[in-house]
């Protein structure tokens, strides 16, 4: 419950300009110089901050590496690791709500989890620099957060945008619908399989200041933590895993307080 | 990894991230990001 409130507060704080949804404007103030910790499209009418993945690609589009955005992401990752995904990411919050919809649930095979590193390297780091016109490739062809938070509201309020919808929009809507369906049946599908930001935070999970600690002496190996982990991890072994979003469910259910 | 190496790794990552932020600002990346962030990103919304 406490985590839900933090997720809700983070979503509202990164998207306070709600009235912009009705007038079709976007916030253009100085705070756009800063990157949000989670995945939140900078063209979302309500957004106050920049998208870190968009910022990386925007500089990459000029044939340069985006040091500023990468530095911010690494700094946030060093402090919180993937707790950002579990507590602060608006799109992560959206995915968790989707998974509450009653439906048959599936367990994601571990083999597909590294796909997010492919999206990070190819679509965020290489293609924006390599493409002739410096396109933000991940935003353009993949990002369902952009379609949901910016595409749909802006297209609803701008007639001139509706007149030029084409195959690209069709592709992006298809990706969004596929992600929504997969998030209903699999916990945080996008976060675990596709998110390039989660991939970077995952690499920093081991070093982050916010950690999940495991005390082997207190553990009675009841495996109740494993049964309750929504990400199908074994917290007694995977407490420093790149996949752990620090949601804290294992801590809550541990009868011996072996996980803190 | 022992705690000394762990702390050293954290300090190195912290220093690298701070240096990257400083270098990015010095190089003028903020203006590129600000310019992109304050206009409707047509790629992001699926118009290309």
Query: Is position B42 within any domain?
Result: no
Structural domain of residue B23, as residue ranges?
A: 3-37
**A209, closest residue in chain B (CA to CA):** B10
Assigned CATH class of A211-260: alpha beta
Q: How confident is the model at residue B1 (pLDDT cuts 50, 70, 90)?
A: low
Q: How far apart are the C-alpha atoms of A211 and B7, rounded to whole Å?
A: 13
Comparing CA positions, the residue from A133, A178, A139, A173 lying closest to residue A155 is: A173
Nearest chain A Cα distance for residue B13, angstroms: 7
Q: Is A200:A74 a contact under the CB 8 Å cutoff?
A: yes
Say whether pLDDT at B46 is over 80.
Answer: yes
Query: Is position B47 within any domain?
Result: no
Coil vs helix vs strand at A35: strand
CB pair distance less than 8 Å for B43 and A64: no
Residues 6 or more apart whose CB falls under 8 angstroms from that of A161 comprise A154, A155, B45, B47
pLDDT in tens, A98-145: 999 999 999 999 999 999 999 999 999 999 888 756 689 999 999 999
Number of domains in chain B: 1
Nearest chain A Cα distance for residue B8, angstroms: 10
Token match 């106050």: residue?
Answer: A48
Token match 């799109």: residue?
Answer: A91
Query: Looking at the complex, does the CB of residue B28 fall below 8 Å from at least one CB of chain A?
Result: no
Chain B interface, best mutation among A26, A58, A91, by max B CB count within 10 A: A58
* A41 contacts in chain B (CB < 8 Å): 41, 44
Query: Is position B43 within any domain?
Result: no
Torsion of CA A144, A147, A149, A150, to 10 degrees: 150
Q: How confident is the model at residue A70 (pLDDT cuts 50, 70, 90)?
A: very high
pLDDT in tens, A143-181: 999 999 999 999 999 999 998 899 999 999 999 999 999
Give the DSSP letter of residue A216: T
Q: Is A105:A181 a contact under the CB 8 Å cutoff?
A: no
Instruction: Choose among A74, A155, A161: nearest Cβ to B16.
Output: A74
Query: Is position B48 within any domain?
Result: no
Task: Enter the ipTM.
Answer: 0.94
Q: Is A246:A191 a contact under the CB 8 Å cutoff?
A: no
Nearest chain B Cα distance for residue A104, angstroms: 31
pLDDT in tens, A13-35: 999 999 999 999 999 999 999 99
Q: How far apart are the C-alpha atoms of A215 and A221, rounded to whole Å?
A: 11
Domain with CATH 3.30.70.20 in chain A: 211-260
Query: Is position B21 within any domain?
Result: yes
CB pair distance less than 8 Å for B29 and A66: yes
Average model confidence (pLDDT) for chain A?
Answer: 95
Torsion of CA A10, A15, A16, A18, to 10 degrees: -140
Say whether pLDDT at A55 is over 90.
Answer: yes
A119 burial via Cβ count (<10 Å: 0-12, 13-18, 19+): buried
Residue A252, both tokens: 């809550």
Chain B interface, best mutation among A71, A136, A138, A161, by max B CB count within 10 A: A71
Query: Is position B46 within any domain?
Result: no
**B36, closest residue in chain A (CA to CA):** A58
Residue percentage of chain A with pLDDT more than 70: 99
Q: How far apart are the C-alpha atoms of A149 and A130, rounded to whole Å?
A: 27
Nearest chain B Cα distance for residue A67, angstroms: 5
Query: Is position B10 within any domain?
Result: yes
How far does chain B reach from its first CA to its final CA, in angstroms?
46
Q: How far apart are the C-alpha atoms of A189 and A180, rounded to whole Å?
A: 9
**A163, closest residue in chain B (CA to CA):** B47
């Amino acid at each position: 419950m406490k985590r839900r409130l933090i997720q809700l507060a983070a979503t509202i704080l990164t998207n306070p300009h709600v009235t912009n949804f009705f007038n079709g404007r976007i916030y253009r103030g100085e705070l756009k110089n800063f990157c949000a910790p989670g995945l939140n499209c900078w063209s979302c009418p309500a957004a106050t901050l920049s998208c870190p993945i968009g910022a990386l690609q925007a500089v990459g589009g000029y044939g340069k590496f985006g040091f500023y955005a990468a530095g911010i992401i690494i700094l946030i990752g060093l402090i919180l690791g993937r707790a950002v995904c579990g507590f602060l990411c608006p799109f992560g919050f959206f995915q968790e709500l989707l998974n509450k919809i009653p439906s048959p649930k599936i367990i994601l095979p571990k083999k597909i989890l590294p796909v997010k590193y492919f999206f990070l390297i190819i679509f965020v780091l290489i293609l924006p620099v390599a493409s002739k016109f410096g396109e933000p490739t991940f935003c353009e062809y993949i990002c369902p957060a952009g379609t949901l938070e910016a595409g749909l509201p802006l297209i609803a309020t701008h007639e001139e945008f509706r007149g030029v919808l084409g195959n690209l929009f069709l592709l992006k809507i298809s990706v969004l619908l596929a992600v929504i369906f997969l998030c209903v049946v699999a916990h945080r599908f996008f976060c675990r399989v596709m998110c390039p930001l989660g991939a970077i935070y995952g690499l920093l999970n081991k070093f982050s200041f916010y950690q999940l600690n495991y005390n082997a002496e207190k553990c009675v190996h009841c495996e109740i933590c494993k049964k309750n982990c929504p990400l199908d991890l074994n917290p007694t072994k995977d407490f420093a895993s790149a996949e752990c979003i620090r949601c804290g469910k294992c801590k809550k259910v541990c009868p011996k307080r072996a996980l803190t | 990894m022992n705690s000394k190496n762990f702390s050293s790794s954290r300090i190195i990552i912290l220093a690298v991230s701070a240096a990257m932020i400083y270098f990015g600002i010095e190089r003028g990346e903020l203006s590129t990001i600000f310019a992109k962030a304050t206009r409707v990103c047509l790629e992001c919304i699926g118009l290309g």
